Amino acid sequence: MHSPESTQDQSSNNQAVSASTLISTPSLKEAFWFWLKLGFISFGGPAGQVATMHQELVERKKWISEDNFLHALNYCMLLPGPEAQQLATYLGWLMHRTWGGIIAGVLFILPSLLLFIGLSWVYLIYGQQAWLVTVFDTIKPAVIAIIFFAAYKMGKKTLTNVSLTTVCLITFIALLVFNIPFPLVIFGAILAGLFHHKVKQSKAVEAEIKFTAANQTKLSAQHFFKIGLSGLLLWLIPFGLLISTFGWVNTYSQMSWFFTKAAFLTFGGAYAVLPYVHQASVEQFQWLTSTQILDGLALGEITPGPLIMIVAFVGFLGSFKQELLGIENLFWAGSLGAIVATWFTFLPSFMFILLGAPLVEMSKQYGRLNQILKFITAAVVGMILHLGSFFMIHVYWPKGFTQSPELLSIGITLISLYLLLMRRWSIIQIIGICLLFASIRLFVL
């Protein structure tokens, strides 16, 4: 049974989803415990998390139909931000509307945030310990393999013609050689997509949007106003409090504005956001170093939750480093930084789903946006390739090109790529074998 709040929310929003959406309707309590469990076991990055949700919700529990799961996934893939967290929010909305989406989205990231706060503290206290250095030195080359594997999987589905492949290569060169800012790359991809769509339109007629009685969703102006105003206030109030308390030039205020922009500009999930985060946090604001960014990514690979939770690591280290709450409150300064980075990164994702899901359910065959966003996705592949190349330089030649490359690191990357591509190992298995190898290295040394 639905809770009274869920029923009231559903009727006030005046929304109806087709009967095929839910095969068997869970209670809000059942859904709560499922999302809480998922928050602690969602290893494996976006691909693994999507696969886990499909296996649990579609195949095992039969709470969501196959068609509606895939439709929700396609919509989330087109959005900026973390697609797995957005998918969880969307599926929660399908089952219990607004509160269902909020509960699913929050529980998907909350365990990861708490873990990152704790691990960031451990990293800063023990980061120079020999055992932790060995662990990171073993995992980081495998992370490079995981990045290139992600680019391969995305590119295989995305780079389906010469135009898209060209956009990918131009993006890679623009970032690697000319160091063009990330937002300009996205803007260029949008222009290329618009131009391509205009040319294509002259050759073919745009397919009509089809509505059927079975999949129409009755939209409520009151619903959109309520959700939109709530989202604006949830952004504006903490943003204003940070500025009034610390000032505009303070790191907390700068983080809130930067991660808001990142949430709207980063198509393609965590691997796409990393180049932008790196450019700003390392080169512009100097919150942390390139090595620390890669260490944060390594932490993200071995913890549950969205990989984009690396922003919590950035927020913690940047706030800790600058002693924003005084020398005696370093942990709390870092924790507040992690919360600020997480809040302003994920808030727009909730708004994308809670405002967009009714529209998506209303129309299942809108193709124009897909054509344009294909070029953005192609650019994202180029960005991921650039990210992998950038980390290769720092891991293989940590002291510069004048020194010999780290052959052990190269070997770990190549073996990891082989296991991912040829043996179809999961990311969890790769990280597990790296931790085992690190333990052997420590024991031998």
Q: pLDDT tens-digit profile of 193-224?
A: 888 877 776 554 444 444 343 344 455 778 88
Q: pLDDT tens-digit profile of 401-416?
A: 888 889 999 999 999 9
Q: Is 218 left (phi over 0), alpha (psi -120 to 50) or beta?
A: beta
- Domain residues of the chain, as ranges? 17-110, 131-220+259-444
Who wins on pLDDT, 150 or 45? 150
Residue of 110, 59, 50 lying closest to 82 (CA atoms): 50
pLDDT band at 272 (very low <50, low <70, confident <90, very high): low
Q: Which tokens in the block code for residue 311?
A: 């922003």
Who wins on pLDDT, 340 or 55? 340
Q: What is the pLDDT of residue 23?
A: 62
- State the Cα–Cα distance between residues 72 and 68, nearest whole angstrom: 6
Who wins on pLDDT, 209 or 191? 191
pLDDT at 17 over 50: no
User: Please, are residues 88 and 35 in contact by the beta-carbon 8 Å criterion?
Assistant: yes
Who wins on pLDDT, 177 or 183? 177
- State the Cα–Cα distance between residues 300 and 36, nearest whole angstrom: 19
- pTM value? 0.72
pLDDT at 257 over 70: yes
Neighbours of 301 (CB within 10 A): 23
- State the Cα–Cα distance between residues 230 and 225, nearest whole angstrom: 8
Q: Give the ranges where 127-269 is alpha helix by DSSP (H).
A: 130-158, 162-176, 182-201, 221-246, 251-265
User: Phi, psi at residue 267, to the nearest 5°?
Assistant: -80, 140
Q: What is the pLDDT of residue 30?
A: 93
Residue 445 neighbours by CB under 8 Å, 6+ apart: 134
pLDDT at 364 over 70: no
Which one-letter DSSP state was computed for residue 406?
-
Q: What is the pLDDT of residue 21?
A: 44
Q: What is the pLDDT of residue 251?
A: 94
Neighbours of 127 (CB within 10 A): 15
- State the Cα–Cα distance between residues 296 and 313, nearest whole angstrom: 6
Per-residue pLDDT averaged across 178-187, rounded? 80
- Judged by DSSP in three states, 267 sits in strand
- State the Cα–Cα distance between residues 25 and 361, nearest whole angstrom: 18
Per-residue pLDDT averaged across 275-294, rounded? 85
Question: Which amino acid, residue 26?
Answer: P
Q: What is the pLDDT of residue 203?
A: 53
Q: What is the pLDDT of residue 11?
A: 45
Who wins on pLDDT, 417 or 42? 417
For the ranges 69-83, 114-128, 148-162, 207-221, the lowest mean pLDDT is seen at 207-221
- State the Cα–Cα distance between residues 59 and 52, nearest whole angstrom: 10
User: Please, are residues 326 and 291 in contact by the beta-carbon 8 Å criterion?
Assistant: no
- State the Cα–Cα distance between residues 281 and 301, nearest whole angstrom: 20
Who wins on pLDDT, 358 or 232? 232
pLDDT band at 106 (very low <50, low <70, confident <90, very high): very high
Which one-letter DSSP state was computed for residue 307?
G
pLDDT at 87 over 60: yes
- State the Cα–Cα distance between residues 9 and 131, nearest whole angstrom: 52
For the ranges 15-29, 129-143, 267-281, 383-397, the lowest mean pLDDT is seen at 15-29
Sign of CA dihedral 374, 143, 278, 309: positive
Sign of CA dihedral 393, 395, 400, 406: negative
- State the Cα–Cα distance between residues 70 and 288, nearest whole angstrom: 38
Q: What is the pLDDT of residue 312?
A: 95
Which one-letter DSSP state was computed for residue 25?
P
Q: What is the pLDDT of residue 363?
A: 53
Who wins on pLDDT, 419 or 371? 419
User: Please, are residues 94 and 64 in contact by the beta-carbon 8 Å criterion?
Assistant: yes
Who wins on pLDDT, 156 or 268? 156
Count the residues in the chain.
445
CA 124, distance to chain mean position in Å, is 24
Residues forming beta bridges with residue 267, ordered by sequence position: 80
Residues forming beta bridges with residue 80, ordered by sequence position: 267
Q: What is the pLDDT of residue 268?
A: 62
User: Phi, psi at residue 80, to the nearest 5°?
Assistant: -70, 150
For the ranges 241-245, 369-373, 411-415, the lowest mean pLDDT is seen at 369-373
User: Please, are residues 346 and 106 in contact by the beta-carbon 8 Å criterion?
Assistant: no
Q: Which tokens in the block code for residue 433?
A: 């074998």
- Of all residues in the chain, the percent with pLDDT exceeding 90 is 34
User: Please, are residues 146 and 420 in contact by the beta-carbon 8 Å criterion?
Assistant: yes
> What average pLDDT does the chain have?
82
Per-residue pLDDT averaged across 228-241, rounded? 96
pLDDT at 189 over 70: yes
Q: What is the pLDDT of residue 92?
A: 94
Residue of 333, 338, 310 lying closest to 322 (CA atoms): 333
Residue 153 neighbours by CB under 8 Å, 6+ apart: 47
- State the Cα–Cα distance between residues 5 and 301, nearest whole angstrom: 37
